């Protein structure tokens, strides 16, 4: 599983403060930490921008990209933010993302085609809903991929996100159980392999209990490893989840196993 960080997010108070004060240092600190943690890509989510949208995204990308050195996910629903972001990126960014919703189809998917970027496809239907069953989500996946192809974007440039939901949602455990089933069944949908991603932070967004949230995140990481999920988008300050990621790589990797390398807890 390839590690993607969601720490550069507007809900992170350090990010909000950095934007307000136009101070690149807190952003660069996040970028350094991502580099140290061997993160493959950083997701940049600044929320809906109202003023100087292009200036803000450019400022953030320029602040972090050289220090981090990896790839960036441009996480926005604003086409003008994505466009300016693509222009500012030195390495090919990944657009995060599109779905069957009209605005995404009309304004975001075409950007991925025009700039030949990779793009994340959420299994969300025209009404903005995640179907509860795996069958329903696979049907959305099938239509998403067809739309991407019509637009000139091949399967190889799409990464499917079947959408983890907060566990406390009505039927939250059912939704997430079906998420696993989607990962299990997706290879049967396409002739070529299709990559997958999960946003781990969604699980416990509302959790009052940090230890419980950490345990749940670690558990899902192991389940995803078993199902060969390709990318995990997560908070890299969550040590227990990172340990779980390393452990799954140790247990399923090609290195000679040594008990001394197992970190407990």
Query: Residue numbers of the site for a copy of itself (CB under 8 A)?
Result: 167-168, 172-174, 176-177, 180, 184, 204, 207-209, 211-216, 219-220, 222-227, 244, 247-248, 250-255, 257, 259-260, 262-265
CB of 181 to a copy of itself, least distance (A): 9
Nearer to a copy of itself, 51 or 264 (CB): 264
CB of 58 to a copy of itself, least distance (A): 40
> Is the preceding omega at residue 97 within 30 degrees of 0, hence cis?
yes
Nearer to a copy of itself, 87 or 251 (CB): 251
Nearer to a copy of itself, 47 or 166 (CB): 166
Q: How far apart are the first and last CA of the chain?
A: 20
CB of 43 to a copy of itself, least distance (A): 24
Q: Which two tokens stand for residue 75?
A: 């996480």
CB of 141 to a copy of itself, least distance (A): 19
**Distance between CA atoms of 121 and 124, rounded to whole angstroms?**
8
Phi, psi of 80 (to 5 degrees): -70, -30
- Please choose, from the candidates 165, 192, 191, 193, the residue with its C-alpha nearest in 3D space to the C-alpha of residue 180: 165
Unique residue bearing structure tokens 């970028």: 31
**Distance between CA atoms of 98 and 206, rounded to whole angstroms?**
25
CB of 210 to a copy of itself, least distance (A): 9
Nearer to a copy of itself, 58 or 207 (CB): 207
Nearer to a copy of itself, 67 or 226 (CB): 226
| β-bridge pairing 71-75 and 195-199 | unpaired
CB proximity list for 243: less than 8 A, separation 6 or greater: 218, 263, 265
CB of 77 to a copy of itself, least distance (A): 29
Q: Answer whether 234's CB lies under 8 Å from 6's CB.
A: yes
Nearer to a copy of itself, 83 or 238 (CB): 238
Q: Which two tokens stand for residue 246?
A: 């390393």
């Amino acid at each position: 599983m390839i590690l993607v960080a969601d720490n550069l997010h507007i809900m992170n108070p350090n990010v909000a403060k950095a934007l307000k004060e136009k101070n690149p240092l807190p952003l660069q600190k996040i970028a350094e930490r991502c580099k140290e943690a061997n993160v493959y890509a950083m997701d940049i989510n600044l929320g809906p921008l109202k003023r100087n949208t292009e200036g803000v995204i450019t400022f953030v990308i320029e602040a972090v990209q050289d220090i981090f050195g990896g790839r960036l996910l441009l996480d926005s629903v604003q086409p003008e933010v994505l466009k300016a972001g693509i222009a500012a990126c030195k390495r090919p960014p990944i657009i995060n993302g599109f779905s069957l919703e009209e605005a995404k189809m009309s304004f975001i998917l075409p950007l991925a085609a025009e700039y030949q970027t990779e793009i994340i496809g959420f299994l969300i239907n025209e009404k903005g809903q995640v179907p509860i069953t795996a069958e329903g989500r696979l049907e959305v996946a099938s239509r998403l991929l067809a739309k991407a192809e019509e637009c000139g974007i091949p399967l190889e440039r799409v990464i499917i996100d079947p959408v983890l939901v907060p566990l406390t949602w009505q039927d939250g455990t059912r939704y997430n159980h079906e998420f696993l089933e989607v990962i299990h069944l997706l290879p049967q949908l396409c002739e070529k392999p299709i990559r997958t991603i999960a946003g781990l932070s969604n699980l416990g967004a509302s959790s009052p209990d940090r230890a419980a949230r950490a345990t749940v995140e670690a558990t899902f990481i192991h389940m995803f490893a078993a199902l060969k999920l390709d990318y995990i988008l997560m908070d890299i300050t969550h040590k227990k989840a990172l340990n779980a990621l390393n452990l799954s790589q140790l247990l399923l990797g090609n290195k000679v196993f040594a008990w001394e390398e197992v970190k407990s807890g």
